[in-house]
Chain A
């Protein structure tokens, strides 16, 4: 009970940020919240089933372009753009997921690796998408809208994951991660479960892309289908705790803060230090921050040594 009250208080504090935060804080908030959505969305498939997707930057790009095409080429309202982007991304997830997710193991990761490069090349040759020149979206002065939209999206994604982790469907996903054969024997339609998880993941990722497109006002294939974004999703989820409800969100917030602090204080070496933080995290808490929290409560600092021993690092 106390726990839920605290979560509600934090959510309220974040929701009211535009009332007491300044413009820079809101800008920072938009970025951090959108990245947290991406991590949370990646968590749905990557964290629960253990299937690492490198296709999420593709869904992000499709969401970006869906919104941009609707608004810049057809003058449609923002929400129509978001719908179009989400529809495109979910369709793509379905088309990619059905054949590839029938396979087990690393094939899925390999097959999704090239996806964003392929779609970026495709978009760069489509007139309706502005070819490689990019598209310009109309300017709006309402940064509060972007902030609240990002926050609402993160809330929706997190609630979806919370529901997932308690539902039969979520149990099925976890079963796939732990032992796919056993899951199949117990009557879990593994392909269906995995595809649904991927489509759900694509939905949230695409909407985040759409919000970002309208906020930044200019997009081109290189920025929309940026594969380093996918790497960040993975890092943030793994840092926070894959397969948990709040892990990816906490991971995204903390890593965004570290990145920001490093960028403003020691900018040249920022990338290097960021790398060191990640390496330390992987060595001492390979199961994420959330697990670290539980472990510390159970056995104190000995947890760090335990994990190092357990994973033979």
Chain B
């Protein structure tokens, strides 16, 4: 009997834990479960910091106006410990127990895939800036919106630029990981290349998290493509470059990566070997991107660095756009009713420090990538609709570098 009492007690204890309701004054609460610890914490921190910075900036300028009344924004942020099951549970908690008004997203496509189901189940809109996979937006969900550009368009600006460079690229090696995001990239890129009349001479998929590229690199050595278009994750990109150097495997003119190039980690890890690498980013902290609350993207980047001690990248800017989307939509809707706000989000159309925010019918925004290159250890913007700076092209082979 005693044992059973103990058991019942333990059950009651575990059911009664976690989360007390938040006080609701004249505030609008945005809820999110983000990776603050665990394997994805390194990128998760961008979301925590950017959400908070955006909310502070908006509150400092008077908050959100709903029918003449002014509301402050508040953030209810939980740590999902990079655990998908915990994340789902926390989003349910945010909606049902903490009674947040709206949801912001986690980082990572797989998390967004699971967590968006909670938004859909409870019909509370979620705007996420951490998952780009097309799968999130292909399910016909009505309550999920995303501010990362679609994966299959990642190489559009790069392919466009290749058409304008001399010497001309005619053959391409396409190397992509086998996960959801990179398969979409490869699929989209194949179409883009076909349209541009470029020939794919190497088309290889590699297993996610595998560090060995020697067989793909020797294939590249023997077929001698003019360019390599590579897609995967940052640690794999580092491995690819290191192994290409040690095998002296070179494309004739050009190589580019979907990830890694914009981050400072990539440049510190590779040192001089990072030079010449092309990449892409949907966002650069430029003064041309004006913003209602921060002034412009450059001012935002400075403020962010001052406050948190590291530079923001597109994850952070995308997170700010998520918060601003809610402000615009709530003010347009004139109510906090989730269904009305959801319809207002579908109609928002504004410029901010991240981009021109306007959601397509499936809920994802369209955003051209800016081609970038590492030149002498520095990140240089090269191409977006037209050439911005002079690229170092063609890329010299490994054995001819100083």
Contacts and interface: CB of A to CB of B under 8 A. Distances in A.
A270 B92 CA distance: 21
B114 A218 contact: yes
Contact of B85 (A23, A25, A216, A293): A216
Interface stretch (B22-30, B178-186, B329-337): B178-186
Nearest to B93: A24
Interface string A239-260: 0000000100010011011001
Contact of A13 (B8, B86, B135, B179): B8
Interface string B1-32: 11110011011011101110000000000000
A264 B110 contact: no
Interface in B52-81: 79, 81
A257 B9 CA distance: 11
B36 interface: yes
A267 B37 contact: yes
Interface stretch (A27-35, A50-58, A88-96, A178-186): A27-35
Contacts of A27: 88-89, 92-93
B362 interface: no
B123 to A, nearest CB: 9
B106 to A, nearest CB: 13
Contacts of B14: 28, 32, 253-254, 256-257, 260-261
Interface of A is mostly: helix
A220 B207 contact: no
Nearest to A223: B84
A192 interface: no
Contacts of A253: 7, 10-11, 14
Contacts of A2: 1
Interface string B265-292: 0000000000000000000000000000
Interface in B87-146: 88-89, 92-93, 95-97, 110, 113-114, 117, 120-121, 135, 139, 141
Interface in A155-171: none
Contacts of A131: 178, 183
Interface in B141-194: 141, 178-180, 183
A141 to B, nearest CB: 5
Interface stretch (A132-140, A193-201, A277-285): A132-140
B36 A132 contact: no
A267 B18 CA distance: 12
A127 interface: no
B235 to A, nearest CB: 15
B1 A24 contact: no
Interface stretch (A3-11, A63-71, A79-87): A3-11
Interface string B304-329: 00000000000000000000000000
B96 A132 contact: no
Given A7-B4, A217-B117, A220-B110, A263 B19 contact: no
A29 B110 CA distance: 23
Most buried by A among B2, B15, B95, B183: B15
Contacts of A13: 8, 11
A150 to B, nearest CB: 13
Contacts of A218: 110, 113-114, 117, 135
Interface residues of B, number: 43
A10 B120 CA distance: 33
A3 B114 contact: no
A125 B318 CA distance: 33
A13 B178 CA distance: 46
Given A131-B178, A136-B135, A10 B96 contact: no
A32 B86 CA distance: 11
B385 interface: no
Contacts of A270: 37, 81
B17 A260 contact: yes
Contacts of A14: 11
B204 interface: no
Given A216-B114, A220-B110, A132 B179 contact: yes
Contact of B36 (A139, A216, A261, A267): A267
Given A14-B11, A22-B96, A268-B37, A31 B178 contact: no
B179 A139 contact: no
B152 to A, nearest CB: 13
B208 interface: yes
A134 B92 CA distance: 23
Contact of B19 (A217, A257, A264): A264
Interface of B: 1-4, 7-8, 10-11, 13-15, 17-19, 36-37, 79, 81, 84-86, 88-89, 92-93, 95-97, 110, 113-114, 117, 120-121, 135, 139, 141, 178-180, 183, 207-208
Q: Which 5 A-B pairs have the closest CB atoms?
A: A257-B14, A23-B96, A132-B178, A133-B180, A218-B113
Given A132-B178, A260-B14, A263-B86, 14 more contacts: A6-B4, A23-B92, A24-B18, A24-B92, A132-B208, A134-B110, A139-B139, A218-B135, A220-B179, A220-B180, A223-B84, A223-B110, A260-B17, A260-B18
7 contacts: A6-B1, A24-B89, A131-B183, A217-B113, A257-B17, A261-B17, A270-B37
Interface of A: 2-3, 6-7, 10, 13-14, 17, 21-25, 27-29, 31-32, 121, 124, 131-134, 136, 139, 141, 216-218, 220, 223, 246, 250, 253-254, 256-257, 260-261, 263-264, 267-268, 270, 293
